[in-house]
């Protein structure tokens, strides 16, 4: 008898991001699909990594992360959100935000649990839930503003509900939580055993002077939350795959049980460098204004195309509708734009488990101005 694998994710194939990136290379297209900048990161941070390596920080650091970095993060959290987080027991450095999300889910979920997941949403959420034997209960966001219908959330809650997953600023829509959302969330989870997983990797990519309403601002929500962050998104180094998770001591203890037998610890020289670089508060406090200029410039350029653009309050992304000029599926138009016009986008249907098609594409504006100009010049020919 030959060995066989019974897939834990039978419905999962190659992601649309891999497909579109391959097409981009084949057709030498401008990639407005994947969320990564095409401009350089701060050279000082690069230099600090090199300095750390030269100074011998090349071996394993603490399993939970380089202690001075965790202390620096705790100070940042107190400064931004007024939360007192213990660096030794409530912060763990991770190889990226997606890893932190997976580890938090794996720490909590058991066979048969249910997790509230909003759609459209980041494509790792549902597979991460399902691989842990739990069920994703899908709640659609309201189109066209992609806001949360909290009455639908209440209807979706059951005795098996173990967690609610949130993402603000939101990928792919660029929407953010407001104070009413926080009040509704509080009323739903109060006096329950429901956890919150809050994906806040775009915490500093937030625009129009809208505040980032982190779960860390609210002691009652923080008590039941795993909050996940990404250095890569903040410092334009997505390839570093470095982030962290914050949770109360009891929950972090379980998180670290999974973490220590997976990656164990993250790159030491990067953590040493990041510790020093976090002293430059302006680097993250000015990020919103920096990226908002790119958003505004891109939206102004896109006025000369056929797309009807939505608004983005955060993240790298903004959506554009094409329902008024084409009956194509989102995937077909995205592939045609890549093949025939040399511009890569992502179909928003990829962010739904059942690939709901609302004739909307996602654009990444975290690019150099000349990149955006060149891409829009091509899109005008559509």
Which pLDDT tens digit goes with each residue over 248-300? 999 999 999 999 999 999 999 999 999 999 999 999 999 999 999 999 999 99
Number of H helices, E strands in the chain: 15, 13
pLDDT at 307: 98
pLDDT at 161: 98
Burial (CB count within 10 angstroms: exposed 0-12, middle 13-18, buried 19+), residue 370: exposed
Is residue 136 within 8 A of residue 115, CB to CB? The reply is yes
Give the mean model confidence (pLDDT) for residues 83-96.
Answer: 98
Q: Domains of the chain (ranges plus CATH)? A: 16-41+285-379 (3.90.1150.10), 56-280 (3.40.640.10)
pLDDT at 41: 93
- pLDDT above 80: residue 202: yes
What span, in angstroms and rounded, lies between the C-alpha atoms of 144 and 208? Answer: 19
Q: Which of 311, 365, 360 minimizes the C-alpha distance to 119?
A: 360
- The CA angle 9-351-91, to the nearest 5 degrees, is 75
- pLDDT above 80: residue 57: yes
Could you tell me the pLDDT band of residue 377, with boundaries at 50, 70 and 90? very high
Q: Which residue has the higher pLDDT, 36 or 358?
A: 358
Which pLDDT tens digit goes with each residue over 4-20? 888 888 888 778 788 88
What span, in angstroms and rounded, lies between the C-alpha atoms of 316 and 52? Answer: 30
Give the mean model confidence (pLDDT) for residues 113-140.
Answer: 97
pLDDT at 131: 96
- Name, in order, each residue with C-beta under 8 angstroms of 120's C-beta and a sequence gap of 6 or more: 141, 146, 172, 173, 348, 351, 352, 356
Which pLDDT tens digit goes with each residue over 127-159? 999 999 999 999 999 999 999 999 999 999 999
């Amino acid at each position: 008898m030959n060995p066989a694998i019974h897939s834990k994710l039978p419905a999962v194939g190659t992601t649309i991001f891999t497909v579109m990136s391959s097409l981009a290379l084949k057709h030498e297209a401008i990639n407005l699909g994947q969320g990564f900048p095409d401009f350089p990161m701060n050279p000082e941070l690069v230099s600090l990594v090199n300095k750390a390596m030269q100074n011998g920080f090349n071996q394993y650091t603490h399993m939970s992360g380089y202690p001075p970095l965790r202390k620096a993060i705790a100070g940042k959290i107190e400064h931004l959100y007024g939360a007192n987080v213990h660096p030794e027991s409530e912060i763990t450095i991770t190889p990226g935000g997606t890893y932190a999300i997976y580890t938090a889910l794996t720490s909590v979920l058991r066979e048969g649990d249910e997790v509230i997941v909003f759609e459209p949403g980041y494509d790792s959420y549902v597979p991460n839930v399902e691989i842990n034997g739990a069920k994703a209960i899908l709640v659609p966001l309201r189109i066209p503003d992609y806001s949360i219908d909290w009455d639908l959330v209440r209807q979706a809650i059951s005795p098996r509900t173990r967690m609610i997953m949130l993402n603000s600023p939101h990928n792919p829509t660029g929407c953010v939580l407001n104070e009413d959302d926080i009040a509704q969330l509080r009323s739903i989870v109060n006096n329950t055993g429901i956890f919150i997983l809050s994906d806040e990797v775009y915490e500093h990519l937030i625009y129009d002077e809208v505040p980032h309403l982190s779960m860390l601002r609210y002691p009652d929500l923080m008590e039941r939350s795993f909050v996940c962050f990404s250095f890569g998104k903040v410092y334009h180094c997505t390839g570093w795959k470095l982030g962290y998770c914050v949770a109360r001591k009891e929950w972090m203890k379980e998180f670290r049980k999974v973490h220590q037998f997976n990656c164990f610890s993250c790159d030491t020289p990067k953590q040493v460098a990041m510790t020093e670089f976090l002293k430059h508060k302006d680097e993250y406090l000015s990020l919103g204004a920096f990226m908002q200029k790119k958003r505004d410039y891109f939206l102004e350029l896109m006025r000369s195309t056929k797309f009807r653009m939505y608004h983005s309050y955060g993240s790298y992304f903004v959506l554009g509708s094409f329902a008024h000029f084409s009956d194509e599926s989102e995937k077909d138009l995205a592939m045609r734009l890549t093949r025939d016009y040399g511009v890569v986008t992502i179909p928003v249907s990829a962010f739904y488990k059942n690939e709901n098609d609302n004739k909307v594409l996602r654009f990444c504006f975290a690019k150099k101005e000349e990149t955006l100009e060149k891409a829009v010049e091509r899109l005008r020919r559509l």
